[in-house]
Structure 1
Amino acid sequence: MSIASLTDPITAEGGNTRFENLDHWLQGRTMYGGASALVAYTAAIKAFSDLPPLRAAQVAFVAPTGPEVDLKREIVRQGRNVAQVRSEIWCEGKCTLTAFWLFGTEREPNAVHDAAPVDNWPGPPEEAPDTMTDKGPAFIRHNFELKRAQEQRGPGDPVVRRWARLADREGLDPVSELILLGDVLPPGAMRAMQRQGPISSINWSFNLLETAPETRDGWWLSENASQHAAGGYSSERLRLWNADGKQVLDGMQSVAIFG
């Protein structure tokens, strides 16, 4: 399923929308979280085309999202510099995703400092070996290329780090690209699990450090790190860097750990 097939069915009017050939974007019985977040984001920016650049978002994955949806969106508040927009996906009369998007114009800075450089730089993506070839859930096999970006394999420190890029990103703006691939990796807590079992993202919040992020050949360094795991849940920090090691996204996620 191409990126256009995922975004083109969405109209400025929202409402009832159907996506065809959704199998390539599935994670278990629901749409992959990055894809459903992109649907909600696209619904917002198509409805309100004069928004300033995206700065941050809060996304809640409430229930499984299928191919037939009802898209709802509204401007909660629009001030002189900041606009806050809510968009929701509904399936069969129930909300399956709700998202809150923060858009803001650039202002004269009163504080300036760069994000810290990436720890344990793995080297450029061009030198990294491929991984997850013909493995993993459908959305990865059909839509992403992954390369190894850490020596660690199997159990150990609860951190998963990979180079990732979309197999087809034609016509996709860079912010939409980050939303689509920002949730691509399994949680870092996977390395601390005592036995294999299903996992499920519950929410995802992030800040964009660049409003027009750029990288080389589509490669982004993605990292999920568990900060704390107990009681069937993990608190994860999600970060993205470009191919030169400049951080472009900083996020948090709550993940349900089953089994």
Structure 2
Amino acid sequence: MHIDQLLQQAEDCVNNGTTMTFPQSWAQGRTAFGGISAALLYTAMKVKVASDRPLRSLTTNFVGPLLSDTAFSFEVEVLREGTNASQLTARLVQNGDVAVMQQASFGIDRFSEIEVANSESHNLSQPNSLPLVPFVPSVTPSFIGNIDLAIEEGAMPYTGQPDSHVHGWMRFKEPPTHISDAHLICLIDAWPPAVLQMMKGPAPASTMMWNLEFIHPHKPVDPKEWFAYKAITRQAGNGYAHLEADIWNDTGELVAISRQSVAVFS
């Protein structure tokens, strides 16, 4: 199922008070790929927000598994609708249990005398010259069949690497109609936590908290184009890792900043 169909279903569920499911092709092991569950929940919240208030920050907590082909529902609460900003929370509920929670801040553009331009660039090679992460049934997660990842630096999980950073590019294999913040949310989480490449063999790991900050305005992106991604591990120890990543569009414009707290069982 194409991501555009899933996002439309999420919007319809909120408007009609119904439930939905997702197919195994968007799963990661026994649960939903975190990027798709976060994108769906964000889409549910966006229904309740005026169109002139773009997403500024989004915090996602992955509470429990979200099973494929099993009905789930959305619970959205508007905490405050101010003159300039809206604060919302949302839950994704399956079989009576909360699977994913989010809190988001949306805000209008305002005049400000303060302006600091981003000075960092990604300096990555063109993606077409880089190897793609292969989709191997029963080896790589199912959702990789929907997303292209091209790695310039770093490696696949569980390969015993000395480094803990990843640089590369990402895009959808089947381009969406247009690129929205929901599509970006889905893409950004496609990368495994960079620290996992240090493991010498398979071991459990789970994202506990994921925060995204979106830089607006940014130019529209051709749905066929790539986004650049550079992630570092800020610190890891005692079973937890803390990671940061920057995301640029195809013209080198910084569009998002990502932070993750990951539980590592190795």
TM-score (norm 2): 0.87
Pair 79,47 (structure 1): closer, same or farther in 2 beyond 3 Å: closer
Q: Distance in 2 between matches of 1:50 and 1:145?
A: 30
Structure 2 counterpart of 1:176: 182
Residues 16 and 94 (structure 1), Cα distance of their counterparts in 2 relative to 1, 3 Å cut: farther
Q: Say if 1:160 and 1:186, in contact at 8 Å, map to a contact too.
A: no
Output the amino acid matched with 1:227. R
**Counterpart in the other structure of 1:139:** 143
- 1:237 maps to 2:244: yes
Asked if the contact 2:168–2:229 (Cα under 8 Å) also holds between the matched residues in 1, the reply is yes
TM-superposed CA distance for 1:126, in Å, is 3.0
Q: Residue type matched to 2:5 in 1?
A: S
Matched, 1:89 2:95: no
In structure 2, C-alpha distance between the alignment counterparts of 1:50 and 1:150, rounded to whole Å:
38
Q: 1:4-83 alignment to 2 at 5 Å?
A: 4-10=4-10, 11=12, 12-13=14-15, 15-20=17-22, 22-50=23-51, 52-66=53-67, 67-83=70-86
| RMSD of aligned residue pairs (Cα, Å) | 2.2
TM-score (norm 1): 0.90
Output the amino acid matched with 1:237: E
Q: Retained in 2: the 8 A contact 1:51–1:103?
A: no
Residue 184 to residue 177, structure 1, CA distance change in 2 (3 Å): same
**Structure 1: any 5+ residue segments left out of the alignment?**
none
Residues 78 and 151 of structure 1: is their aligned pair in 2 closer, same or farther, counting only changes over 3 Å?
closer
Aligned mate of 1:116, from 116, 119, 144: 119
Find the counterpart in structure 2 of residue 253 from structure 1.
260
Q: Distance in 2 between matches of 1:15 and 1:24?
A: 25
Question: Secondary structure, in 3 states, of the residue corresponding to 1:4?
Answer: helix
Secondary structure of 1:170's counterpart equals coil
Instruction: Name the count of aligned residue pairs.
Output: 256
Are residues 1:200 and 2:202 paired?
Answer: no
Q: Give 1:13 shift.
A: 3.1
Asked whether the 8 Å contact 1:198–1:257 carries over to 2, the reply is yes
CA-to-aligned-CA distance 1:139-196 (integer Å, 9 cap, x gap): 01x2101212227785122102221101123234421211111111111111333543
CA drift at 1:212:
4.0
Q: Does structure 1 conserve the Cα–Cα contact (< 8 Å) formed by 2:40 and 2:182?
A: no
For residue 59 of structure 2, what is the amino acid of its counterpart? Q
Shift of 1:80: 0.7
For 2:90 and 2:259, the matched residues in 1 are separated by 20
Whether the aligned pair in 1 keeps the contact of 2:153 and 2:167 (CA below 8 Å) is yes
The answer to whether the 8 Å contact 1:143/1:167 transfers is yes
User: Which of 130, 133, 139 is residue 132 of structure 2 equivalent to?
Assistant: 130
Residue identity in the other structure for 2:99: T
CA deviation string 1:66-109 (max 9, x = no partner): 23112100211111111111111011111111111111111112
Percent of residue pairs bearing the same amino acid type = 26
Q: Name structure 2 gaps, 5 residues minimum.
A: none
Contact 2:154–2:164 (CA under 8 A) maintained in structure 1: no
Cα offset, 1:14, TM superposition? 6.0
| Structure 1 residue 9: Cα displacement | 2.2
For residue 118 of structure 1, report the CA deviation from its aligned partner.
Answer: 2.9
Please state how far the C-alpha of 1:132 moved relative to its aligned partner.
Answer: 2.6
Bigger shift: 174-183 or 239-248? 239-248
Matched, 1:149 2:152: yes
User: What displacement does 1:213 show?
Assistant: 4.7
Of residues 92, 104, 109 in structure 1, which corresponds to 2:107? 104
Q: For 1:147, what is the secondary structure of its paired residue?
A: strand
Higher strand proportion, which one? 1
Following superposition of structure 1 onto structure 2, how do residues 200-239 of structure 1 map, counting pairs within 5 Å? Answer: 200-215=206-221, 217-239=224-246
